[in-house]
Amino acid sequence: MIAVEDLIELVRTYNPRTDDKLITAAYEFAREMHEGQYRHSGEAYFSHPAAVAAILAEQRLDDATIVTALLHDTVEDTRASYAMVADRFGPEIADLVDGVTKLTKLQLSSTETQQAENFRKLFMAMSKDMRVILVKLADRLHNMRTIKAMRPKKQLKKARETMDIFAPLAGRMGMQWMREELEDLAFRVINPEARASIIRRFITLQKEAGDVIERITGDMRQVLDRAGIEADVLGRAKKPYSIWRKMQEKKMGFSRLSDIYGFRIITRSEDDCYRVLGAIHRRWRAVPGRFKDYISQPKSNGYRSIHTTVSGRDGKRVEVQIRTQAMHDVAETGVAAHWSYRDGVPAENPFAVDPARWIATLTEQFDTEEDHDEFLEAVRLEMYTDKVFCFTPKGDVVKLPRGATPIDFAYAIHTRIGHACVGAKIDGMRVPLWTRIKNGQSVEVITADGQTPQSTWLEIAITGKARAAIRRALRELDRDRYIKLGRELARSAFEHVRKRATEKALTTAARTLRLADADEVLARLGSAELTTRQVLNAVYPDIAPDDSHLVGRDRAVIGLGRNQRFERARCCQPLPGERIVGITFRGKGVVVHAIDCAALSQYEDQPDRWLDLRWHDGKHPAEYDVTLDVTIGNDAGVMGRICTLIGEQKANISDLTFVDRKPDFYRLLIDVELRDAEHLHGIMSALDAESDVASVERYRDPARAGGGVKQ
C-alpha cells in the first residue's frame, strides 16, 4: 500500500503547489473510516482507495480528484456521511464523492430497461463533473488488477461488465492506455486460453525472428536522421486482446496477421508530423486504405494524430502513429487532460477539449430518444464505434459512425432532408441507400417532395439519431393503422392465455414498458416494434406464451409483395436478426441474402431486381439451416461432446460431413437448425470454449449463390 508521503511526493512531481495537508487529512480520514475492513485478498480495505489515488496521480490530476479517490468509498461503506465529508473537505469534494457513490450503486449490466436508465444516470453524472467518471474508471482498473481474489463467478461478471461498458467508455474519453489495459485484464478472465495462446505465439515469433521492434525502431531512426528530423520513436507489440479481436474480425489465424506491432513517432512540431510521414512513405510502401489524418480532422475527444500502415521488413505490415508531444499527452489521457497539471499549474494543452462541450455533444442525441431501448441503442452505437469523416457537396465535414449509410448522412444534415431522401450519390456516382460510406468520400442526398420514410430504412440506418427519427415518422404516418392491427393482435394473444386485453391491462403494460399510454402500446405492437410476448409479460410476468406465438414462415420477412414467396440464399444462409436484401427471380420468387454476402456483387448492375427487406422482430422457430465449419481434435469422445454441446443449446443437427481427415485433426461441416443470429452466436461461443475445438466458423460458399434454401 502506498504511504501518504509517497503519494504526496508523486503529486509533487507535476504539482509542486499541491495542498499536502489536504491530501494527508483525506488519507488519514479514509484510513480511519475503513479501519477493520478487508478486501477478498485479506489486505486492509484502505489499500484500494490509496491505489486508486495513485493511479490518478500518475495521470497528473488535480488535488480534488486525488482526495476524491481516497474518500470515494467512505460514504457508501463506512459511517461517514455527505455532511461529514463536506464539513471537513468542502462542498466540491463532497459532491464528487457523492457522484462516485451513486455511480457505484448503478448495476450497469442489469436488464435492458434498468441498464438504459442507469446509462442515463451515468451521463447525467458525467455532465455535472467528468472527474466522477475518472475516479470510477481508476476504481475499476484497480479492481480488475486485483480480481483474482474474487470468486470465479464474480470475476466473470465483473470482466464482462468491464469489457462491455468501462473499457469502451475509457476509449470514448480518449484514454486509450486505460482501455487497452481494461480489455486485456477482462480478456484474461473471459478467455484465458486464447490469451495464453497468443502470448505463446508471440514468444515463439520472437525466438524465430529476433527482436523485431528493436530492428524496425532502428530503421525508422536512421530514416529520420537522414531527413534531418528530430523525433522520438517508440515501438510495442499490440495487446493480446487487440490481436484476438483482429483475428475474429478478419477471420484469420495468428500466423496470417501482419500488423501486430505498432510504432509511435513523437515530433517537435506539427509541420514535422507531415515531414515524418513523407520520409516514412518514401522509405516503405504505404498500404492503400490504411491512412488517416486526425490532425486535420480531430476526433471529438481531442485526439490528433496521423495513422499510416506500411510494408516493412519481409513484407510485414507496420502501423505507425505520428504526433507531437502535446498531441501525445491528449492521446494518453483524453478528456482527462483538461484537469492535468504541470509545474504546479493546470497544463495549457491546446488540444485538450472542454469536457462540458464534449459531454454535451455526446448526450445531445440521447435526449431525443423516447424510450429505454432506443436510448440504449443510441448509447451503444456512440460508445462502440469509430468515426468516418465525409463531406457535403459544399465541402463541409460530417462525422458519422463507421458503417454509416447515406440515410444516416441525410439525417445528420437535417431531419427534413432525411425524411425526403430518395437516393444518394457518393463521389458523383449514384449508389444504393445501403452503401457504407468510407473516409473522405463526398456524399450528395437526392430528395423529392412527398417522400416519406420507409420501414426498411430501419435496417439501413445505424445512427441513433436517424433510427429514432425514422421510427417517429413511421409511427405518425401509420399510427391509426398500427393501433387497429395492434388491438387485434393484443386481443388474440390475451385470449390465448384466457385473459382480456382491457384498457386497464394495456395501460398497465404501457406503465411497465415506460410508454405514454395504451394507444402507444398498440401502435408499437401493430408496427412489430413490440411483440405480444413482451406485452403479455408486462402485465402477467408469470405467464409464458407457448410456441403458437412463434413467427410463422408466411410472416418471417417484412417487405415482400402480396403473394410473393421467399427462399434463403444457400451461399450466405441469412438468419433472423441479420440485415438482409432480396433478389427477385422469375418463377422462384425472392432469394434473401445477408447484406454483406459476396454473391450480391453479380447483381450490382440490375438494381430493379433488388428489394429492401427485414426479418420480423418476433421469436422464430428453430428451422433455419446454417452450416458450421468446425475443426476438432482426433480424440475419443470429442465428436460426442460436440453433438451434446449443440443439443444443449436447443439446436438440431440436420447433416454432418467430414471434409478433411488428418491424424491429429478432423475438419467437418455441420448443418444445424437455428432460430436466429443470437442462437448461432450462443452455439459458436459454446463450441469455441470447448478445448478440443481448434476452430469454429460460419461456412459461406459464394459458389452456391444460384438458389435458395427451403425450410
Give the catalytic positions in this structure. 76-77
Inter-CA distances, 668 with 238, 494, 642, 652, 661, Å: 33, 46, 11, 16, 9
The cell numbers describing 289, all together, are 486504405
Nearest Cα residue to 388 out of 373, 375, 406, 372: 406
DSSP state of 9: H
Task: Please give the Cα distance from 126 to 639 (Å, whole number).
Answer: 51
Do the Cβ atoms of 331 and 170 come closer than 8 Å? no
Cα separation, 464 vs 468, in Å, equals 6
Show the 3-state SS of 151-176: CHHHHHHHHHHHHHHHHHHHHHCCCH
Cell numbers for 205, please give them: 515469433
Evaluated on CA atoms 638, 640, 643, 646, the torsion sign reads negative
Partners of 653 in beta bridges: 672
Rg (the chain; Cα; Å) = 28
Q: Is 136 exposed, middle or buried (0-12, 13-18, 19+ CB in 10 A)?
A: buried
Q: Name the grid cell of 308.
A: 499510416
- β-pairing, 693-698 with 317-324? unpaired
Question: Length of the chain, please?
Answer: 711
Q: Under a CB-based contact definition with an 8 Å cutoff, are residues 705 and 571 in contact?
A: yes
Cβ atoms of 365 and 461 within 8 Å: the answer is no
Alpha-carbon dihedral 63, 348, 133, 139, rounded to 10 degrees: -50
Give which of 479, 437, 434 is closest to 457, Cα–Cα. Answer: 434
